[in-house]
Amino acid sequence: MRKRLPRRGLSFKNWGIYIMQKKKITLVGLVLMTLSTIYGFANTTVAYDQMGYASIIWYILGAVLFLLPTALMFAEYGSTFKDAHGGIYSWLAGSIGEEWAFIGTFIWLSSWIIWLMSTASKVWIPFATTLFGHDTTQTWSFLGLSSTKTVGLLAILWILTVTWFAVRGMDSISKISSVGGIFVSLLTVIFAIASIVVLVFNGGHLAQPVTGIGSFINSPNPQFTSPIAVISFMVYAVFAYAGTETLGGVTDNMKDPAKTFPRGLIISTVIITVMYSLSIFLWGITTNWHSVLGHGQVNLGNITYVLMANLGVVLGQSLHLSAAASSILGTAFARFAGLSMFMAYMGSFFVLVYSPLKSFIMGSNPNFWPAKMTQLNKKGMPGFAMWTQAVIVAVLIFFVTFGGSNASQFYVILTNMGNISTSFPYIFLVAAFPFFKRKKGLERPFEIYKKRWITDAVSIIVLIVLVGGIGFTAVTPIIQHDYVTAFWTIIGPIFFGAIAWAFLTYQSHKLAKNK
């Protein structure tokens, strides 16, 4: 199986999935690879903003009901189809047929397209924070346009510029992402150490007090108080654990994979869950939700930099520095976070603008594509397909930003679109797994789910988690009468699924006519 980019993690995680194919992966190596692929620092800030301490239990449920069972499924897929070059397209095609595989993988591609759309807009926040010490994008204006529309135009300019360079094979700037990954890892260490220092110097006092078990059940965020909204948070947890399918192709590089992989995965699941839970709790040491986050200047785009700036200020106060010195320390923390994220965003963007698209086009059945989409230019890039993708991203950005949304709603829309588009392809992979297990004539060098009833039961449970989380995420803004957010939240998979179906219908008629 080909080596594929980690899911969603390139902005916040490192390149640990890339391994030397000729070396056998040890238990420790597998654990480290899983940690680097799955854990994302920014997921903890979003979780704390949305649910506070109450997000911890959902991250635990996400690990038990999603991360562990799906990773074992994908390991079986990967080991069985290890010689295929189409990634998850090959998995689905070998299980439920090429037509459904094309639609499912096209929706998987849409998650990357929405990631490009979201990142092209969000990249300006760490850029501004690096320059000015805090997020100034909400004050930007061009020709009298609102800040949201101005950022939208900059995002369109960003995607077009990056595509122009990438089409010409100028992807060397992607190496910046490895430096950004190191910076983000260092950011995590600084956050943990600073939080513990504050806790010690403040005599164990928490900025966000724990008033009993209710603090870990009830969200301080008024938008996450209804049962439907709370359950919808499961999609955030699934997003935080996205990337498990990238581990599916490494079983053939292990010594005794039948024992090493499940053992390593269980250890990794425990470690990642503890890391997420502990990180969310650590934010409560320095950040009181109502005083720091409970106002209109904080949104899902700048939450990481707001929390880091506040961490620096509180650390300075705990060390009895002057108000000016504490403010400078807070600005330094915010700037370091901004620089780290900006480098990671920029480097990964130059890879992701072509890599998922190219791998899907080259790995799927060429008969399903118009001829121009499969053509590579002199630099080995699918130029026409990349420009088509850029136009789609630009159009989506334009409609979202010029749809009347304010900054807070804008970043909620981008986050919800990203979460649902990321989670949706897993429905195809999990639903196809029982069919994969019933396929005859396949060589299965690695098996965990050996009994049919276990396979079916686990698949149903995971599907309930996925469908429930996605469904409640889509329904919540409708109940709140926020129809703009509701529309953009659910449009991604529907829109791209319709395009895939149209492609299939057109190409099938064309092939039938030619025959």
DSSP assignment of 299-324, as one string? Answer: -TTTHHHHHHHHHHHHHHHHTT--HH
Q: List, for residues 272-284, the tens digit of each pLDDT value.
A: 999 999 999 999 9
Which residue do the tokens 């990671």 mark? Answer: 344
Q: Identify the bridge partners of residue 254 per DSSP, sorted by sequence position.
A: 25
pLDDT score recorded for residue 289: 94
Confidence of residue 265 (pLDDT cuts 50, 70, 90): confident
pLDDT score recorded for residue 148: 87
Task: Give the distance from CA 406 to its chain's centroid.
Answer: 23
Token code pair at residue 277: 């839970």
Torsion, Cα of 466, 215, 285, 133 (10° steps):
50
Q: What is the mean pLDDT of residues 424-431?
A: 92
Q: What is the mean pLDDT of residues 498-514?
A: 80
Q: What is the mean pLDDT of residues 28-46?
A: 86
Q: Is residue 243 part of a domain?
A: yes
Confidence of residue 377 (pLDDT cuts 50, 70, 90): confident
Q: What is the mean pLDDT of residues 222-236?
A: 88
Q: List, for residues 282-340, the tens digit of each pLDDT value.
A: 999 999 999 999 876 788 889 999 999 999 999 999 999 999 999 999 999 999 999 98
Averaged pLDDT score across all residues of the chain: 85
Here the CATH number for the domain that contains residue 56 is 1.20.1740.10
Q: Is residue 1 part of a domain?
A: no
Distance CA 260, CA 287 (A): 40
Q: Is the pLDDT of residue 198 over 50?
A: yes
Helix axes 355-363, 383-401, angle to 10 degrees: 130
More confident position, 79 or 186: 186
More confident position, 209 or 5: 209
Domain residues for 256?
9-514
Q: Is residue 4 part of a domain?
A: no
Q: Is residue 161 part of a domain?
A: yes
What DSSP state is assigned to residue 289? Answer: I
Helix (H, G, I), strand (E, B), or coil: what is residue 377?
Answer: coil
Among the listed residues 371, 374, 361, 368, the one whose alpha carbon sits nearest the alpha carbon of residue 507: 368
Q: Is residue 3 part of a domain?
A: no
Cβ distance 286 to 314 under 8 Å? yes
More confident position, 178 or 312: 312
> How many CA atoms lie less than 13 Å away from 130 in the CB half-sphere?
13
Q: Is residue 291 part of a domain?
A: yes
Task: Give the distance from CA 337 to its chain's centroid.
Answer: 18
Cβ distance 101 to 89 under 8 Å? yes
pLDDT score recorded for residue 353: 86
Which residue do the tokens 């009298």 mark? Answer: 144
> Per mean pLDDT, which range of 201-215, 238-252, 317-331 is the poorest?
238-252
Token code pair at residue 502: 């149209």
Q: Is residue 502 part of a domain?
A: yes
Using left for φ > 0, alpha for ψ between -120 and 50, and beta otherwise, residue 381 falls in beta
Among the listed residues 381, 503, 446, the one whose alpha carbon sits nearest the alpha carbon of residue 101: 503
For residues 428-463, b (16+ Cβ closer than 10 Å) or e, as one string? bbbbbbbebbeeeeeeeebebbeeeeebeebbeebe
Please state the domain count of the chain: 1
Token code pair at residue 173: 């700037």
pLDDT score recorded for residue 360: 83
Q: What is the mean pLDDT of residues 134-162?
A: 90
Helical H runs in 289-406? 303-318, 323-352, 355-363, 383-401
What one-letter code names the amino acid at 507? Q
Q: Is the pLDDT of residue 15 over 90?
A: no
Among the listed residues 300, 280, 279, the one whose alpha carbon sits nearest the alpha carbon of residue 125: 300
Among the listed residues 344, 411, 336, 314, the one whose alpha carbon sits nearest the alpha carbon of residue 129: 336
Distance CA 346, CA 336 (A): 15
Q: Is the pLDDT of residue 51 over 90?
A: yes
pLDDT score recorded for residue 476: 86
Distance CA 202, CA 319 (A): 9
Q: What is the mean pLDDT of residues 41-55?
A: 93
What one-letter code names the amino acid at 364? S
Residues 6+ apart with CB under 8 A from 500: 102, 103, 106, 107
Q: What percent of the chain has pLDDT over 70?
A: 91
Distance CA 55, CA 39 (A): 15
Q: What is the mean pLDDT of residues 243-258?
A: 71
Q: Is the dihedral of CA 142, 143, 146, 151 positive or negative?
A: negative
